[in-house]
Chain A
Amino acid sequence: MSELYDIPRQFLIDLADRGVIHYTFLYAFVVNGFLCAIVIGPLLGGIGTMVVAKRMAFFSQAVGNAALTGVAIGVIIGESYTAPYFSMFSFCILFGLLLNFTKNHTKMSSDTLIGVFLSISLAIGATVLLWVSAKVNTHILDTVMFGSILTVDDTDITVLLLTTLLIACVALPLYNQMLLASLNPSLAHVRGIRVKLLEYVFVLLLTILTVACVKIIGAVLVEALLLIPAAAARNLNRSIKGFVLWSIVFSTASCLIGVWAPMRFEIPVPSGGAIILTAAAIFLVTLVIRMTVPRFREASI
């Protein structure tokens, strides 16, 4: 796979060498981060619209916190502590499915249940990780929570690309069905949609997506990128088409600007923080537009 990645990598490095783009792109780690940003932006922006529509805003954070425990388990069973993907995926998928199973069998509201699971997962993750901290550098906690897009390697890119492919193959054909199931499960069932199965499929996809992005942008930032661009797009649009399109645009722009701007203008801000700050700035602009432009005016209460 490495040779395959060398093609775009070398292309960007050549451009930097000829002075077409900023000289920091001479460094392979910057190019890697940039390539990840190009993939993560549309991916999180697109899925974010479904997360917002299904009111699952905090689910990915709960899964991200569960990734802490996954990392700890990986360390215990002897996986590489910089990329314990097997443990992270296994534990987080179990966690996500258990959460959905509990929701289906208790009929509790999503936000309450996700809140409970989020707290539990953070507590278990932090506890177990500290317990194994004698074996590894404890900065791994920071990496899981906030990621580091500039330290991604070919394995991370491969995991991300496979995840993107999986999500595109599953979520695109099922997009309408998933959305209808969240609007009215009874109507969706009459339309031949297997509502419960689709819930599990979506939870599974969101879990895989979150874990694939944890190392790159961090558990906290995955959630932010799922929510903020979609929320910004929602401020300005009245149709699903505009909602999804603008969410993808905002998310991709946030990722690219977040990676490029701190290096170009030598601002001492980590790339993860810059990505979210860019997304937040876009959200604020859309908010001001929504509050001031007459066509968006609505009842105040």
Chain B
Amino acid sequence: MKGPSIVFENVFLSLGNTRILENVSFRVGSGTIHCIVGANGGGKTSLIRCLLGQMPHSGRIAIDWQAAPVTGYVPQALNFDQTLPLTVRDFIALTCQRRPVFLGVPRAQRELIDAALERVGLSGKSRFRLGSLSGGERQRVLFAQALIPEPSLLVLDEPMAGLDLAGKEILEEAIGAFAAGGGTVLWINHDIVQVREVADSLTYIDRRVLLDGAPAEALASGAALELFPTLVAKRPAEQRASAS
């Protein structure tokens, strides 16, 4: 499986009188992990929604599919009534099954769902009510649904929000394994330390593109000094730690 490459070219987005995105241009390579970083309200989620065809943008967004055009999408959060009788299995089956879920989930589908839950460390939770899970566990369920059917592009909108350390490691591993298999990952991520460790490339957006490139180069630029002062200040300490 080979993930698609994506080109954003002169993307503009205005909602009402507010300019959300301005002349955004960058490229996401096939089979890479590309992180989008930036301050709150900078237009990251809006950009993702432009890619998904949910925002009235102008400019060009082209996806060059190398395999079946299947997108796995992990939204920021589920805004639902937590008392709704809906198990984890019900929810995932809703996203990938045509037969009404109340008529049951076929065995083959159940196995797929259980396998996806295992990949995010939630084996045995398929019969739990979705509303009874913690916020972090629900994030992992959202990630699990994105894996069925096997996507070639994963679009992640802050999937680590609310996750504990163990949860972060599990998702990081799952994302890494997906990219290692050739899939493309477009990932909104606030954790710049994590971005530096796992991303092949990053784009910093605050209405327009302020940084773009491989993390090592982009974060060494002059602009990065202003955007991530704490990260840059940490570097000498990190160097001492690695030297010792």
Contact = CB atoms under 8 A, between A and B. Distances in A.
A in complex with B: yes
Interface stretch (A23-31, A93-101, A173-181, A265-273): A173-181
A176 B85 contact: no
Given A55-B81, A186-B49, A239-B87, A191 B102 contact: no
Indicate the member of B94, B102, B104 with the most A CB atoms within 10 Å. B102
A242 B5 CA distance: 44
B64 to A, nearest CB: 19
B50 to A, nearest CB: 12
B43 to A, nearest CB: 16
A190 B86 contact: no
A175 to B, nearest CB: 4
B78 interface: yes
A225 B109 CA distance: 33
Contacts of A53: 81, 84
Contacts of A191: 95-96
A139 interface: no
Contacts of A189: 52-54
**Interface size of A as a range:** 20 to 34
Interface in B102-149: 102-104, 127, 129, 132, 145
A207 B102 CA distance: 23
B158 interface: no
18 contacts: A53-B84, A172-B100, A173-B98, A173-B100, A176-B93, A176-B97, A176-B99, A180-B95, A184-B75, A187-B73, A189-B54, A191-B95, A234-B85, A237-B85, A239-B90, A241-B104, A242-B85, A244-B102
B6 to A, nearest CB: 15
Interface of A: 49, 53, 55, 172-173, 175-176, 179-180, 182-184, 186-187, 189-191, 233-234, 237-245, 298
B78 A186 contact: no
B102 A245 contact: yes
Contacts, number: 81
A245 B87 CA distance: 15
Interface in B53-70: 53-54
Given A234-B85, A241-B104, A180 B129 contact: no
A234 B85 CA distance: 6
A53 B132 CA distance: 16
Nearest to B89: A239
Contacts of A244: 102
Interface string B21-57: 0000000000000000000000000000100111000
Nearest to A180: B94
Nearest to A230: B85
A243 B97 CA distance: 18
Given A240-B102, A242-B85, 13 more contacts: A55-B81, A173-B98, A176-B98, A182-B80, A187-B73, A189-B52, A189-B54, A240-B90, A241-B102, A243-B85, A243-B102, A245-B102, A298-B83
Given A184-B78, A237-B85, A239-B86, A176 B71 contact: no
A237 B101 CA distance: 15
Contact of A240 (B79, B80, B101, B155): B101
